[in-house]
């Protein structure tokens, strides 16, 4: 089975792009499934089901969805293999701009949208910097010039990535993205022994574990203080 | 390339490759006051200072910088993106029957119209061109550039996009003045003489739009017609893409004939999906699309050009009446 990790800021168009791309993937007679990781709730699973795409959802609750992702991805891979998928796509929310679900030797996609502003590419961090493919959405609502400027900023941050423009509404560019998924030669039987491309932040303080009270005496574990002078 | 740049000082590197500044900025590497330090040391110091927040290693930063410089050099090597002609080789209709043409050649400086009912495959044809299809799209068509199988860079490189696209519902969303915006675009295109280019674009845009705007006008407050005029002038002059796709710009409130002439004067190939008779007749040929395939190629005839002249007169009259309404005048 092929595996693709798709991440990007909230509302950048990940679900829309995956839906259109898997439609084109199905047209090739291939079978794909999706796993969606989020924090508190997601309606994406309903959208995938409506499109006839088998989906599993994982809600991380109080944990970072990306930490939760790594802890569960092997089980998800086995679920996908059991279902006989040719391709499994994971969608994750990328809430902190610091985590990235990308795994070495596994095709990594980052979705960003033209509306997010030209400084966004440099703010996003490892999920963009370490992606193999960067998909830029919502080109339909900005000018040609803004698309060019935005794409050049993406390229400056990640010069090695293939950059594709996909319209999440009309599906323009989705066939092309699906052909890149299809071209992916690496098959995954198990992720045991694979490595993340980038370490997750060590967020393990008392607040991660449910503390709500404010004050030094309640702060335990990995606590960092601002420098104020 | 890595070896060539790593032991240069940052100052020397930025002197040779000014465009590398965006790479440092994109990775939050501050180079101010460090011009005399070597690139490799600046990266190592940066990674050390970031400590556990470091997103990349110094080696990865070097590798990325080298990649960035190479891409930009390719982008600047003008001859690489000269597209003199585009060839379409046949594929199949939606039902699998072959298309009945052998080779359609479109040369730079030419305008072609694409017409056909909804769902017939106009957008797919444009997408085949943008993806430089090699028998690997639903239509099975093949696209050649300069009579050759094109370089794969046209598919993925953000700096070598084959196609620039102008469509009806595009807006400006950045919070900048016209001048600031054009400067930013010109810089990202590595234009030589930014201020000249900016002046040229504004002049051309004002020639296309009915009412003129100033360099200090915020782009978001331009009228629909002014926005489109600016987009067209900017695409003609600054975009490096050799092919321009125009998707239905009928109610544009701009001088369409002049707009087309501007694009063509820059030796672009212009493809228009339109059912506006004025635009359609301005093209030298029309591709007729049905059932997913190109059914026929029609040359614009002399009789049709006469119709175009009549339409142009009507068009001017409409524009004139519209302008008088705008000024609060009576039309009688
Ligand atoms: N030759 C072909 N073989 C298989 N599928 C095709 C072919 N041509 C087009 N299609 C598919 O048919 C659908 C409709 O085509 P397309 O969107 O290009 O139509 P259109 O002419 O642009 O319509 P509209 O005027 O509504 O924009 C698309 O899903 C496209 O991929
Ligand atoms: N105009 C436009 N809207 C888009 C595009 N892609 C996605 N959207 C819309 O953006 C919103 C967020 O998209 P979604 O796929 O849910 O984003 P996600 O949170 O990244 O999965 C939805 O309303 C989509 O319909 C696009 O290319 N153009
Ligand atoms: Mg989603
Ligand atoms: Mg269409
Ligand atoms: Zn996180
Ligand atoms: Zn915490």
User: Which CATH number does the domain housing residue A57 bear?
Assistant: 3.40.50.300
Residue A179 to residue B136, Cβ atoms within 8 A: yes
Backbone angles phi, psi at A2, to 5 degrees: -85, 150
The predicted structure's pLDDT at residue A206: 67
Residue B126's closest chain A neighbor by CA? A172
Q: Which of A31-35, A192-196, B245-249 shows the highest mean pLDDT?
A: A31-35
Q: Would you say residue A69 has pLDDT above 70?
A: yes
The partner residue sitting opposite B170, judged by closest CB among A129, A141, A175, is A141
Best of B5, B153, B158, B163 to mutate (most A CBs within 10 Å, chain A): B158
**pTM metric for this prediction:** 0.85
Residues with CB under 6 A from ligand 1: B 92-94, 116, 118-124, 138-139, 292-293
Choices 3.10.100.10, 3.40.109.10, 3.30.365.10, 3.40.50.300: CATH for B80-300: 3.40.50.300
Percentage of residues in chain B having pLDDT higher than 70? 96
Contact A7, A102 (CB under 8 A): yes
**Helix-then-strand count for chain B, H and E:** 13, 9
* Ligand 5 centroid from CA A162, angstroms: 25
Dist. CA B119 → ligand 4 center (Å): 7
Cβ contact A140–B170 (<8 Å)? yes
Tokens representing residue B242 in the block: 């050799």
Say how many C-beta atoms besides its own lie within 10 A of residue B6's C-beta. Answer: 18
pLDDT tens by residue, A88-116: 999 987 666 677 889 999 999 999 999 99
Over residues A77-92, the mean pLDDT reads: 95
**Centre of ligand 2 from the C-alpha of residue B40, in Å:** 40
Distance from CA of B257 to the nearest CA of A (A): 20
| Nearest-angstrom CA–CA distance, B311 and B304 | 10
Domain of residue A60, residue span: 2-218
Residues in chain A with CB shorter than 8 Å from the CB of B228 are none
On the question of pLDDT at A29 being above 70, the answer is yes
* Percentage of residues in chain B having pLDDT higher than 90: 48
**For A126, which of B52, B55, B185 is closest by C-beta distance?**
B55
Residue B76 CA to ligand 5 centre (angstroms)? 39
User: Are A140 and B189 in contact (CB < 8 Å)?
Assistant: no
Query: Which of A5, A6, A7, A11 should be mutated for ligand 2, with most atoms under 8 A from CB?
Result: A11
Confidence grade of residue B252 (pLDDT, cut at 50, 70, 90)? low
Indicate whether A124 belongs to any domain: yes
Phi, psi of B214 (to 5 degrees): -95, 160
In the structure encoding, which two tokens stand for residue A151, read together?
């794409």
pLDDT of residue B191: 82
Mean pLDDT of chain A: 88
Neighbours of ion ligand 4 (CB under 5 A): B 123
Q: What pLDDT score does A100 carry?
A: 85
Contacts of B227 in chain A (CB under 8 A): 143
Model confidence band, residue A221 (pLDDT cutoffs 50, 70, 90)? low
Q: Kindly state the percentage of chain A with pLDDT values over 90.
A: 56
A187 lines ligand 2 (CB under 6 A): no
What digits encode the pLDDT tens for the residues B216-238? Answer: 999 999 988 888 889 989 998 98
**For chains A and B, what is the number of CB pairs under 8 angstroms?**
114
Structural domain includes residue A25 = yes
Q: Which chain B residue lies closest to A121 (C-alpha atoms)?
A: B26
Tokens describing residue B131:
């993806």
Instruction: Quote the CA–CA distance of B8 and A214 in Å, as a whole number.
Output: 50
Residue of B123, B289, B294 best suited for mutating to test ligand 1, as the one with most atoms within 8 Å of CB: B123
For tokens 């675009």, name the residue. B185
Give the ipTM: 0.80
Residues of A in contact with B167 (CB under 8 A): 140
Residue A1's contacts (CB-CB under 8 Å, 6 or more residues apart) are A77, A80, A81, A85, A86, A87, A88, A187, A188, A189
Which pLDDT value is given to residue A141?
87
B217 and B181 Cβ atoms separated by less than 8 Å: no
Q: Which of A10, A16, A111 to mutate to test the pocket of ligand 2 (most atoms within 8 A of CB)?
A: A16
What does the pLDDT look like over B168-177, one tens digit per residue? 667 788 889 9
Contacts of the segment B96-103: beta carbons below 8 A, 24+ positions apart = B97/B293, B99/B141, B99/B293, B99/B294, B100/B293, B100/B295, B101/B294, B101/B297
Average pLDDT over residues B102-129: 92
Q: Do B25 and A175 touch (CB under 8 A)?
A: no
Rounded CA separation B171/B167 (Å): 10
Residue range(s) occupied by CATH 3.40.50.300 in chain B: 80-300
Task: State residue B165's pLDDT score.
Answer: 86
Q: Is residue A225 part of a domain?
A: no
Residue A229 belongs to some domain of the structure: no
Compute CA distances A152 → A11, A178, B79, whole Å.
Answer: 22, 23, 20
Q: How far is the CA of A23 from the centre of ligand 2 (A)?
A: 16
Smallest-distance ligand from the CA of A221: 6
Q: What pLDDT, in 10s, does the model give residues B66-114?
A: 989 988 887 777 654 588 899 999 999 999 999 989 999 999 989 999 9
β-partners of residue B38 are: B9
The pair of structure tokens assigned to A29 is: 């007679």
Q: How far is the CA of B201 from the centre of ligand 4 (A)?
A: 29
Q: Whose CA is nearest to atom 24 of ligand 1?
A: B118
Residue A227 lies in a domain: no
Give the residue from chain B lying closest to A134, CA to CA: B156
Phi-psi region at A193: left, alpha or beta (left = phi > 0; alpha = psi -120 to 50): left
What's the confidence (pLDDT) of residue A218?
77
Residue with CA nearest ligand 2 atom 2: A138
Higher per-residue pLDDT: A138 or A228: A138
Enumerate the residues of chain B whose CB falls inside 8 A of the CB of residue A170. 123
Q: What is the domain count for chain A?
A: 1
């Amino acid at each position: 089975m092929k595996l693709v990790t798709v991440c990007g800021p909230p509302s950048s168009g990940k679900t829309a792009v995956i839906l259109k791309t898997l439609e084109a993937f199905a047209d090739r007679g291939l079978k794909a499934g999706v796993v969606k990781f989020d924090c508190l709730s997601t309606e994406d699973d309903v959208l995938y089901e409506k499109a006839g795409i088998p989906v599993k959802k994982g809600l991380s609750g109080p944990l970072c969805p990306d930490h939760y992702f790594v802890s569960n991805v092997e089980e998800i891979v086995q679920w996908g293999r059991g279902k006989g998928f040719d391709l499994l796509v994971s969608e994750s929310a990328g809430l902190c701009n610091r985590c990235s679900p990308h795994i070495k030797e596994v095709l990594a996609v980052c979705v960003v949208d033209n509306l997010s502003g030209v400084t966004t590419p440099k703010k996003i961090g490892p999920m963009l910097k370490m992606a193999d493919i960067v998909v830029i959405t919502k080109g339909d609502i900005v000018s040609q010039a803004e698309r060019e400027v935005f794409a050049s900023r993406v390229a400056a941050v990640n010069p090695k990535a293939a950059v594709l423009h996909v319209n999440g509404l009309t599906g323009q560019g989705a066939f092309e993205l699906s052909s890149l998924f299809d071209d992916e030669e690496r098959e995954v039987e198990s992720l045991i022994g694979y490595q993340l491309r980038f370490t997750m932040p060590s967020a393990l303080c008392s607040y991660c574990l449910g503390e709500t009270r404010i004050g030094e005496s309640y702060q335990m574990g990995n606590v960092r203080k601002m420098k104020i002078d | 390339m890595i070896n060539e740049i790593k032991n240069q000082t940052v100052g020397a590197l930025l002197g040779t490759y000014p465009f590398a500044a965006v790479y440092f900025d994109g990775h939050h590497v501050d180079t101010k006051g460090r011009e005399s330090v070597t690139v490799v040391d600046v990266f190592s110091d940066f990674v050390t200072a970031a400590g556990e927040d470091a997103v990349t290693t110094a080696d990865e930063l070097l590798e990325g910088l080298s990649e960035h410089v190479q891409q930009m050099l390719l982008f600047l090597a003008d001859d690489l993106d000269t597209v003199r002609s585009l060839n379409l080789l046949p594929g199949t209709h939606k039902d699998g029957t072959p298309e009945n043409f052998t080779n359609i050649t479109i040369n730079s400086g030419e305008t072609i119209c694409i017409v056909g009912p909804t769902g017939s495959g106009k957008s797919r044809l444009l997408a085949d061109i943008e993806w430089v299809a090699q028998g690997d799209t639903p239509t099975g068509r093949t696209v050649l550039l300069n009579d050759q199988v094109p370089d794969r860079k046209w598919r993925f490189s953000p700096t070598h996009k084959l196609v620039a696209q102008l469509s009806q519902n595009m807006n400006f969303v950045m919070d900048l003045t016209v001048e600031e915006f054009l400067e930013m675009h010109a810089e990202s295109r590595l234009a030589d003489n930014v201020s000249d280019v900016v002046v040229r674009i504004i002049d051309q845009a004002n020639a296309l739009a009915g009412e003129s705007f100033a360099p200090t006008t915020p782009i978001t407050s331009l009228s629909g017609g002014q926005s489109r005029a600016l987009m067209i002038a900017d695409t003609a002059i600054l975009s490096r893409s050799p092919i321009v796709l125009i998707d239905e710009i009928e109610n544009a409130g701009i001088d369409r004939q002049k707009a087309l002439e501007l694009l063509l004067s820059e030796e672009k190939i212009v493809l228009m999906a339109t059912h506006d008779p004025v635009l359609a007749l301005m093209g030298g040929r029309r591709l007729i699309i049905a059932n997913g395939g190109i059914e026929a190629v029609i040359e614009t005839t002399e009789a049709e050009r006469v119709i175009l002249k009549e339409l142009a007169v009507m068009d001017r009259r409409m524009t004139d009446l519209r302008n008088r309404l705008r000024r609060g005048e009576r039309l009688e």
